[in-house]
Amino acid sequence: MSTRRETVRQALATSEGFRSAQDIYASLRAEGAKVGLTTVYRQLQALTESGEVDMLRTDDGESVYRACATDQHHHHLVCRKCGRTVEVEGPAVERWAEAVGLEHGFTDVTHTVEIFGTCGSCGQP
């Protein structure tokens, strides 16, 4: 494994919540790491593909990343205000995705589901 990948992995492992590639890049540069933004994106993509990092798209369409808390397939419930994220399972979603794939003759179906709302702390007056 590359040293750059380990550097990006460590940046996420010591972070709370999801972070953008630009945020990760800025913090690494502030710590003196000699890494380019393109390299950060490339390493995040590799870590996402290997299942070590969760990636989701915010309401604005920005990709954000965090170290995976589990190696099991899961979905995210994300607070729009504070970014708090809860990993959730969705057996009904899993069955639905498989059924839709089969109905249309697809195999090896994958999917991502991100659910956005306002957490209890942010929703309280």
CATH number at residue 28: 1.10.10.10
Among 26, 55, 70, the domain-final residue is 70
Residue 59: per-residue pLDDT: 74
pLDDT per residue over 18-31, tens digit each? 899 999 999 999 99
- Give the number of domains in the chain: 2
The model's confidence at residue 2, banded by pLDDT at 50, 70 and 90, is low
| Residues 47, 110: Cα–Cα separation, whole Å | 17
SS3 of residue 59 by DSSP: coil
Residue 113: per-residue pLDDT: 78
Among 70, 87, 116, the domain-final residue is 70
Residue 125: per-residue pLDDT: 65
Residue 79: per-residue pLDDT: 85
What residues contact 18, with CB distance under 8 A and at least 6 apart? Answer: 54, 56, 64, 65, 66, 78, 83, 85
61 and 86 inside one domain: no
The model's confidence at residue 70, banded by pLDDT at 50, 70 and 90, is low
pLDDT per residue over 7-16, tens digit each? 998 998 888 7
Average per-residue pLDDT in the chain? 86
Residue 124: per-residue pLDDT: 75
* Residue-range definition of the domain harbouring residue 8: 1-70
64 and 79 inside one domain: no
- On the question of pLDDT at 1 being above 60, the answer is no
CB atoms within 10 A of CB 106: 11
Residue 114: per-residue pLDDT: 78
Q: Give the mean pLDDT of 91-96.
A: 86
